[in-house]
Amino acid sequence: MSNELLDTEIKRLFRELESKTPGSKEYNDVQDCLNILYKLKLEEDKNHENAEIQRQKNEDDKEYQNRDIDLKEQQIQENKAFNWLRFGVDVAGIALPLIFCRKTWREGLKIEKLDQFIGSPSAKNALKFFTPWRKK
């Protein structure tokens, strides 16, 4: 029964109870019905309040989950930026020594073509260590 129907039925039974004489069988029957309907009304109100509390809790949980998802997306974006930065540093760590070795090697070839040598023998030998494809 809906809450409105319970209210109208309780009011009707109260009016009927006023017309009955106290202590009679009809009075006790109406009083029992009234007690049952009032208990049903209290249960209905309690269920309605519990449903409202549960609905509010579900909304709060959804809001919390949405904030959690937003926070995770923000962390992913920050991690993506750091990953790209780390990738750039790794590429530079590989490419810069290779570029330096290549330039040094080419300069060494130019010096050898002119039949000139680097000033000291230790500097000449150090040039060998800059070539990445040298045999150990």
Residue 120 has pLDDT above 60, yes or no: no
Three-state DSSP state, 14: helix
- Chain-wide mean pLDDT for the chain? 81
Structure tokens at 37: 């309907």
Strands (E), 44-135: none
End-to-end distance of the chain based on CA atoms, in angstroms? 93
Residues 6+ apart with CB under 8 A from 104: 127, 130
Instruction: Write a three-state SS string for 52-71.
Output: HHHHHHHHHHHHHHHHHHHH
The residue-averaged pLDDT of 92-120 equals: 70
Question: Is residue 133 situated within a structural domain?
Answer: no
Range of the domain at 14: 3-128
Task: Give me the pLDDT at residue 18, please.
Answer: 82
Domain-embedded: residue 135: no
- Whether 21 has a pLDDT exceeding 60, the answer reads yes
What local confidence, expressed as pLDDT, does residue 16 receive? 82
Q: What is the pLDDT of residues 36-74, one digit of tens each?
A: 888 988 898 899 899 999 999 999 889 999 999 999 999
Residue 90 belongs to a domain: yes
The model's confidence at residue 86, banded by pLDDT at 50, 70 and 90, is very high
Q: Which DSSP helix (H) or strand (E) runs through 1?
A: none
Percent residues over pLDDT 70 in the chain: 78
Q: Using the predicted structure, report yes or no on whether residue 3 has a pLDDT greater than 90.
A: no
Asked if the structure places residue 56 within a domain, the reply is: yes
Q: Residues 73-96: what's their mean pLDDT?
A: 91
Structural domains in the chain (count): 1
